[in-house]
Amino acid sequence: MKKRLLVLLVVVILTLSTVSFVAANNDPVGGCPDNFHLHTVADHDHDHMGPHKHVGNDKDLNGDGWICGKHVGADGSIHVHIDNNVPLP
């Protein structure tokens, strides 16, 4: 029982250190599809000027602090968001 608890504790510590390492990285781990632009999640949080709608998923699923966005619609008032998951060259 103690051995299992120790193994579980080590796994949790390694998982947390890996997540912290990825979150601390300022470089994106993935890119955007064609016609999407890369921006930080923090920039997205401050990008709420004027009436517009957000569609898609604006969650940072890979934990790198970046997402992709694209303005669509006749006046660009709809913002499509996805996580940056296109492999980098």
Closest listed residue to residue 60, CA positions, set 30, 35, 83, 86: 83
Predicted confidence at residue 10, as pLDDT, reads 55
Reported confidence tier of residue 58, pLDDT bands at 50, 70, 90: confident
Closest listed residue to residue 47, CA positions, set 14, 73, 77: 77
Reported as a single tens digit per residue, the pLDDT across 6-55 is 555 555 565 554 444 444 458 999 999 999 999 888 765 545 556 778 88
The rounded distance, in Å, linking the Cα atoms of 3 and 23 is 30
Predicted confidence at residue 30, as pLDDT, reads 92
Reported as a single tens digit per residue, the pLDDT across 21-34 is 444 458 999 999 99
- Helix/strand/coil for 71: strand
pTM given for the model? 0.61
Token pair of 56 as six digits: 């898609």
